[in-house]
A and B are shown apart, each in its own frame.
Chain A
Amino acid sequence: MEKYTFKDFKSDQEVRWCPGCGDHAVLAAMQRAMPRVSELSGCSKEKFVVVSGIGCSSRLPYYMNTYGFHSIHGRATAISTGIKVANPELAVWQACGDGDALAIGGNHFIHAVRRNVDINIILFNNQIYGLTKGQYSPTSKFGAITKTSPYGTVEHPFNPGSLVLGAKGTFFARGLDTELKLNEEIMVAAASHAGTSVMEMLTNCVIFNDGAHSCISSRETKADRTIVLRHGEKMIFGRNRDKGLILDGMGLRVVTIGEKGITEDDILTHDAHCENAGIHMMLADMKYPDFPVALGVIRDVEDVTYDCGVKLQVEQVRDKSKIKCVDDLLRSGSVWEV
């Protein structure tokens, strides 16, 4: 099989995102991850399809030198589902924004997750409508002041992670635009997961919501305010790697190793493959300042995929049926001769 480099996945189209936009970094991670994904999955470049909806991030398919479909607002997930069911051999990747996937496309999003269609959804979360120039989105913080909420929003945001886990999602990961390597790692993990893989990418909109994630993304504070989860590793974080998470009653608690008799052994070990989503839900829900924001693969469990189920059923029914062609069908059941 052909070996690719990131250049093979770069299209000849001029990238038209604003300078400094977080989307550039996610695109770069994707172009870097794809050669590895191709190698691991045995899927050649022409089998990659990149689908998107509408919004800034949905321009992404033009920048990938693969088959691409830039569809309509909110519907990317339904289009991806159709592509994957029609031809399960294709590797389907989807780029969508927080408004696109969680507002106008919320229905398709939760149903794709529920069905566990084998598609990879990169959810660019900048907590704002960028392409329409700055209205609040379903992930904007409560009270966010935007063009359509000049006095602050009076509605609670969605946390994409809880939405995915609530819909019995089998894969959820979170990345951050500044973390190129981690994002690449997440995409490779998503590709090897059979089922709907949702990768939330916290991205910065420099024009309409600059600094939305800065409290966790700045160089000085990142280590203390985020935790990178890896399956089988202790949930330890902090500049000095001395903070950790433990289970305390029904919830999680941040502790300091070496204080109050806490040792590394007391710290939780991340189990992304655990069937029970309880702890995954708590991890996905962690918010600064009470907790570090969880990054990395939070949940990755196996289950049957929808596209595979459809394919298998067709094969099973076909094998058993006496009707092998349309002529057989037309003559089946109640017919009579004149």
Chain B
Amino acid sequence: MRHKVIDAKDVVIRFAGDSGDGMQLTGSLFADMSAVYGNELSTFPDYPAEIRAPHGTVSGVSGFQVHIGSNHVTTPGDFCDLLVAMNPAALKANAKWLKRTAMVLIDEDTFDEEGLARAGFTGDPIAELHIEDREIIVAPITQLTRESLKDSGLDAKTIAKCKNMFVLGMACFIYSRPMEYIYDYLQKKFGRKHPEFVAPNKKVLNDGYNYASNIQAIPNTYNVQPANLKKGLYRNITGNQAIAWGLLAASEKSGLPLFCGSYPITPATAILEELAIHKNLGAKTVQAEDEIAGICTAIGASFAGNLAVTTTSGPGLSLKSEALGLAVMTELPLVVVDVQRAGPSTGIPTKTEQTDLNQALYGRNGECPMVVMAAHSPANCFDTAFNAAKIALEHMTPVLLLSEGFLGNGSEPWHIPSMADYPEIKPPFAKAGDGRYYPFVRDEKTKVRKWALPGQKGMEHRVGGLEKNDFGVLSSDPQNHAKMVRERAEKIARVADSIPELTVEGAREGELLVIGWGGTYGHIMSAVDEVRSKGAEVGFAHFDYIMPLPSNTKEVLSKYRKILVCELNSGHFAAYLRSEFPEFRYMQFNKVQGQPFLVQELVDAISEAL
């Protein structure tokens, strides 16, 4: 039988298995090869907090979803066209993500009595999950892998680990993917240290591909044509990696060494890990004894003249609160990255949310304003981190950069920029000959103080957490305190003069303005596009800058009859806008499930609001 090859605009594939089955790797490889093939894509790893949860149980299922397309792909996709389920638990955990027309590929060998029992099935899993109408491809993947590698000389345990290559081969057949990229990957990964692994992995990959082409169970295969991308050099990048690199870029453009003081915490750890690699670009990393030491070493490094950074996630940000106040009071540049996760407390560490916005805006003692920004896609994390560092250094303030687990772990292809296109960063250094140095005398226009670094002769001064006057002398004078409070706030407000105006996609005025911030950008964009394609007058404004807000915010809000604020919390940004611009009425669409939005639920919410 000849398979029919169907051209698809986009497809969503979800790889799911036990947390030791290598699904994250399989999914990333599929994504990377698709990117090299020229597709647009977006990925979403959905993994449990346990490193190795009990074998075969639903709580131990690790998933990786990848959405590839031949035109604008902005989200990892709500529902999937293909689910690869390496065991019954994986099927059970992910059946809800199947499209009506989806294919399901399952490893028959794991669907034995024991496997079914571990996943909590009592009868036929397909019937129990009500997915009889889907295309179910049942293949003895474990056995076939064993057969494929019986002469490889590898031990049984290693052979069992190669199952993921077999399914990857099958997926490559189904989606007409050329496999050269994976051959290269295997060569690069094992070539030098374990050359004995290269050939077996390649063999099992090819056997998977050939098996899929030989069986008759797969009626159709699909081809997703390359996207019409801007010419140039590309790479895949995760949000966490992009933040680390954006900070390195800011270090280069400011000429200041990068210092990162951090404590490991999910899902932010990868930023510290990435920076620890890049000592080649002068990055110094201190893995501190706790979150507080993370930020305090960074504040010390900032005082000494480095570009100082600390990275964390929600609970870690709580621990850093007092020190954030110190950075505000001493007016030292500092970038604080919060990769948000589901809270409160330990919450669900591996799941995504936007529930730290209130903490970012208000979570400190005293009148304590600082710049708050948010990244809106994995690749955008690069520019956001760069801009956060630029604002921190040029405005002498801590900047809180909000990312999300969804962005940090997610990836997308990135058109590699040239550093020549990025601006220089010029901190307001005090210079010899400026006259006597007073630490809190400000620039009239920006309210920014001058920065004198230890080692500069004649500029000895003291900073600290106590209130001071312009000259750096301690003061508890009521009028002075009022003035300093005002000036610190004014300095942050005036950052609005250096940031871009808010832009609107879609209708510039009319019935409804949809508002979002942070990592929901792709989902809201897709939903707004869909609603607009049906002729609705909808505009979409996405906020990258939260404190201060872009200077034209009020003007934009005033152009619509209705405003709908969509966010993955109970309404933090909506409440903030309400307090800033009480003259408008705000509708809300909120979700707090530790999961990103689905495009469909946004479409429904927007349609209902209209």
Contacts and interface: CB of A to CB of B under 8 A. Distances in A.
Given A46-B454, A67-B460, A314 B305 contact: no
Contacts of A66: 460
A322 to B, nearest CB: 8
A317 B305 CA distance: 22
A82 B296 contact: yes
Given A75-B296, A108-B293, A62 B281 contact: no
Contacts of B231: 338
Contacts of B248: 326, 329
B416 interface: yes
Nearest to B286: A85
Contacts of A71: 296, 299, 326, 464-465
A335 B416 contact: yes
Nearest to B325: A72
Interface stretch (B91-99, B149-157, B233-241, B343-351): B233-241
A251 interface: no
B232 A72 contact: no
Interface of chain B, main secondary structure: mixed
A109 B125 CA distance: 57
Contact of A323 (B235, B280, B302, B458): B280
Given A82-B261, A318-B282, A68 B297 contact: no
A331 interface: yes
Contact of B462 (A61, A78, A87, A331): A61
Contact of B235 (A48, A310, A324, A333): A333
A131 interface: no
A61 B472 CA distance: 13
B463 A68 contact: yes
A90 B288 CA distance: 21
Contact of B466 (A46, A70, A331): A70
A282 to B, nearest CB: 28
A70 B462 contact: yes
B281 to A, nearest CB: 7
Given A46-B454, A318-B282, A68 B462 contact: yes
A76 B462 CA distance: 14
Contacts of A111: 288-289, 293
A314 B459 CA distance: 29
B280 A327 contact: no
A323 B428 CA distance: 30
B454 A67 contact: yes
Contacts, number: 198
A321 B232 contact: no
Contacts of B464: 61, 68-71
Contacts of A49: 303-304, 454
Nearest to A81: B297
Interface string A118-144: 000000000000000000000000000
Contacts of B298: 82
A87 B304 contact: yes
A87 B459 contact: no
A151 interface: no
B32 A82 contact: no
B279 A313 contact: yes
A299 to B, nearest CB: 22
A317 B230 CA distance: 35
Interface of B: 32, 35-36, 38, 185, 229-236, 245, 248-249, 252, 257, 259, 261, 278-284, 286, 288-290, 292-293, 296-306, 308, 322-323, 325-326, 330, 416-419, 454-466, 473-474
Interface of A: 13, 44-49, 51, 54, 61-62, 65-72, 75, 78-87, 89-90, 107-108, 111, 310, 313-314, 317-318, 320-321, 323-327, 329-331, 333-338
Q: Which 7 A-B pairs have the closest CB atoms?
A: A82-B300, A70-B464, A321-B280, A78-B296, A82-B297, A86-B301, A68-B462
Given A72-B325, A75-B293, A336-B35, 11 more contacts: A13-B474, A46-B454, A49-B304, A61-B462, A62-B474, A81-B286, A107-B289, A330-B419, A334-B235, A335-B233, A336-B36
25 contacts: A45-B460, A46-B455, A65-B460, A69-B300, A69-B303, A69-B464, A70-B466, A71-B299, A71-B326, A72-B296, A75-B292, A82-B261, A82-B303, A83-B454, A86-B305, A90-B304, A111-B288, A317-B280, A326-B245, A330-B419, A334-B185, A335-B416, A336-B234, A338-B231, A338-B234
